[in-house]
Structure 1
Amino acid sequence: MRNRTILSAVMAMFIAAGCGGGHDDNGGTPAASNAHAWMNTSLPPQQRTALLLAAMTPQQKIAQLTGTPGVVPEIPSCYGARHITGIPDLQIPTLRVTNGPVGVGQNDCVSPGLPGLPLSSLSSPASAKATALPSGMAVAASFDTAVASQFGDVIGRESRNLALHVLEGPGMNLARNPTLGRNFEYFGEDPILSGTMGVAEIKAIQSHGVIAMAKHLVANEQETNRMTINENIDDKTLHELYMVPFEMAVKDGGVASVMCSYNSVNGASMCENKHILTDVLRGQWGFTGYVQSDFFAAHSTANTMLAGLDNEMPGIDVAPLTAWWTPAKINAALSAGQITQSNIDTALGRRYTQMFRLGIFDRPVTQTAIDQAGDGAIARAIGEQSAVLLKNTNDLLPFDPKAIRSVALIGQAAYANKAVSGCCGGSSDVIPLYTVTPLEGVQNVLKQAGSPASANLTIVADDNSNLAAAVDAAKQADVVIVLAGTIAEEGADRPSIELSNNQDAIIAAVAAANPRTAVVMKDNASALMPWIDQAPAVLETWFPGQEDGNIMANLVFGMANPSGKLPVTFPKKSGDWPANTPAQYPGVTVNGQPTVTYSEGLQIGYRWYDAQNVKPLFAFGHGLSYTSFKMSNLQVSPQSSDGTKPVTVSVDVENSGKVAGAEVPQVYLSLPAGLGQPPKRLVGFQKVMLAPGEKKTVQIVIDPNAASHPLGTWDTASQQWKTAGGQYQVMVGNASDNLSLNSALSVGK
Structure 2
Amino acid sequence: MLKNKTIIDKLTVEQKASLMSGKSTWESQDIPEVVPAIFMSDGPHGLRKQMGEADHLGLNESLPATCFPTAATLANSWDEGLVYQVGKCIGEEAKALGVHVVLGPGLNIKRNPKCGRNFEYYSEDPYLAGKLAASSIRGIQANGTIASPKHFAANSQEYRRMASDSIVDERTLREIYTTNFEIAVKEGQPKSIMSSYNLVNGAYANEDSYLLRDILKDEWGFKGFVVSDWGGDNDHTAGVKNGSHLAMPTLGKNGTLELIESVKNGKLDEAVLDQRVDEFLTVVNSVDVSPADGTIDWTQHHEVAKKAAMESVVLLKNEDNVLPLDKTKKVAVIGDFAQTPRYQGAGSSVVNAKNLETTLDVIGNYPLTVSGFAKGYERGGRSNDQLVNEALALAKKSDVILLYAGLDEILESEGMDRTTIDMPKNQLALIQELAETGKPIIVALSAGSVVECSWENKVQGILHGYLGGEAGASAMLEVICGQHNPSGKLNETYPLTYQDVPFGKEFPAKGRYAYYKEGIYVGYRYYDTAKKAVRYPFGYGLSYSSFQYSDLQITKTGIKAVITNTSETAGAEIVQLYVSNPSSTLLRPEKELKGFTKVFLQPKESQTIEIAFDDKTFRYYDVKSRSWKTEAGEYKIMLASSVQDIRLEGQLQVEGTKPESTLLQPKYQRVALEEVTLEDFAELYGKQLPHEEATGQRLLDRTSIIAEMSQAKNPLARLVHRIIRSLLKRSEKKGKPDLNLLFISNMPFRAIAKMTNGMVSLAMVDEMLVMVNGHFFKGFAGLIKQFFQNRKLQKSN
Q: TM-score, normalised by structure 2?
A: 0.79
The 1:153–1:332 alpha-carbon spacing in structure 2 relative to 1, beyond 3 Å, is same
Q: 1:80-91 alignment to 2 at 5 Å? A: 81-90=25-34
Aligned to 1:660: 570
Aligned to 1:320: none
- Which of 423, 440, 463 is the equivalent residue of 2:382? 463
- Shift >4 Å, 4+ stretches: 451-455
Q: Quote the offset at 1:514 in angstroms.
A: 4.6
- Which of 608, 627, 644 is the equivalent residue of 1:720? 627
Aligned to 2:239: 304
| 1:474 matches 2:392 | no
Q: Quote the offset at 1:155 in angstroms.
A: 1.2
| 1:233 matches 2:189 | no
Aligned to 2:338: 416
Aligned to 2:10: 55
**1:480 match: secondary structure:** strand
Question: For residues 587 and 603 of structure 2, what CA distance do their matches in structure 1 show?
Answer: 43
Aligned to 2:701: none
Calculate percent identity across the aligned residue pairs. 32
Question: For residues 429 and 565 of structure 2, what CA distance do their matches in structure 1 show?
Answer: 38
- Structure 2: gaps (5+ residues): 657-797
The 1:104–1:382 alpha-carbon spacing in structure 2 relative to 1, beyond 3 Å, is same
| 2:224–2:280 Cα contact (<8 Å) kept | yes
Q: 1:341-360 alignment to 2 at 5 Å? A: 341-356=270-285, 359-360=286-287
Amino acid at match of 1:420: R
**1:467 match: secondary structure:** helix
- Which of 561, 576, 580 is the equivalent residue of 1:651? 561
| 1:366 matches 2:309 | no
| 1:66 matches 2:7 | no
Comparing 229-238 with 544-553, greater Cα deviation is found at 544-553
Question: For residues 394 and 60 of structure 2, what CA distance do their matches in structure 1 show?
Answer: 35
Amino acid at match of 2:509: G
| 1:395 matches 2:321 | yes
Aligned to 2:219: 284
> For residues 688-719 of structure 1, what are the alpha-carbon distances to aligned partners after superposition, in whole Å with 9 as ceiling and x for unaligned?
0011111101100012x2xxx22101011111
Amino acid at match of 1:417: Q
Aligned to 1:576: 500
Amino acid at match of 1:493: D
Aligned to 1:74: none
| 1:441–1:552 Cα contact (<8 Å) kept | no
Aligned to 1:24: none
Question: For residues 59 and 497 of structure 2, what CA distance do their matches in structure 1 show?
Answer: 37
Aligned to 1:535: 459
Amino acid at match of 2:579: L
Aligned to 1:430: 351
Question: For residues 596 and 275 of structure 2, what CA distance do their matches in structure 1 show?
Answer: 40
Aligned to 1:326: 255
Question: For residues 173 and 122 of structure 2, what CA distance do their matches in structure 1 show?
Answer: 17
Q: Quote the offset at 1:273 in angstroms.
A: 1.2
Aligned to 2:118: 183
Question: For residues 512 and 660 of structure 1, what CA distance do their matches in structure 2 show?
Answer: 36
**1:601 match: secondary structure:** coil
* Residue correspondences, number: 648
Q: Quote the offset at 1:441 in angstroms.
A: 2.8
| 2:402–2:442 Cα contact (<8 Å) kept | yes
| 2:317–2:463 Cα contact (<8 Å) kept | yes
Amino acid at match of 2:517: S
The 1:696–1:334 alpha-carbon spacing in structure 2 relative to 1, beyond 3 Å, is same
The 1:159–1:325 alpha-carbon spacing in structure 2 relative to 1, beyond 3 Å, is farther
Question: For residues 16 and 602 of structure 2, what CA distance do their matches in structure 1 show?
Answer: 59
Q: Quote the offset at 1:349 in angstroms.
A: 1.7
**1:509 match: secondary structure:** helix
| 1:194 matches 2:136 | no
Amino acid at match of 1:64: L
Aligned to 1:519: 443
Aligned to 2:532: 614
| 2:333–2:370 Cα contact (<8 Å) kept | no
Q: TM-score, normalised by structure 1?
A: 0.84
The 1:121–1:631 alpha-carbon spacing in structure 2 relative to 1, beyond 3 Å, is closer
**2:282 match: secondary structure:** helix
Aligned to 1:158: 93
> For residues 321-353 of structure 1, what are the alpha-carbon distances to aligned partners after superposition, in whole Å with 9 as ceiling and x for unaligned?
xx7962222222222221133222222221221
- Structure 1: gaps (5+ residues): 1-8, 13-45, 70-80, 112-116, 317-322, 639-646
| 1:441–1:551 Cα contact (<8 Å) kept | no
Q: Quote the offset at 1:464 in angstroms.
A: 3.0
Comparing 614-623 with 552-561, greater Cα deviation is found at 552-561
Amino acid at match of 1:683: K
| 1:391–1:537 Cα contact (<8 Å) kept | yes
Amino acid at match of 2:28: I
| 1:66–1:325 Cα contact (<8 Å) kept | no
> For residues 72-114 of structure 1, what are the alpha-carbon distances to aligned partners after superposition, in whole Å with 9 as ceiling and x for unaligned?
xxxxxxxxx2112433422x33200011111113x2x323xxx
Question: For residues 505 and 398 of structure 1, what CA distance do their matches in structure 2 show?
Answer: 26
Q: Quote the offset at 1:541 in angstroms.
A: 0.3
Aligned to 2:70: 135
Aligned to 1:95: 38
**2:593 match: secondary structure:** strand
Aligned to 2:264: 335
| 1:102–1:133 Cα contact (<8 Å) kept | yes
Q: Quote the offset at 1:562 in angstroms.
A: 0.7
Question: For residues 695 and 354 of structure 1, what CA distance do their matches in structure 2 show?
Answer: 47
Amino acid at match of 1:587: A
| 2:58–2:349 Cα contact (<8 Å) kept | no
Amino acid at match of 1:522: S
- Which of 293, 298, 301 is the equivalent residue of 1:375? 301
| 1:559 matches 2:483 | yes
- Which of 311, 315, 325 is the equivalent residue of 1:385? 311
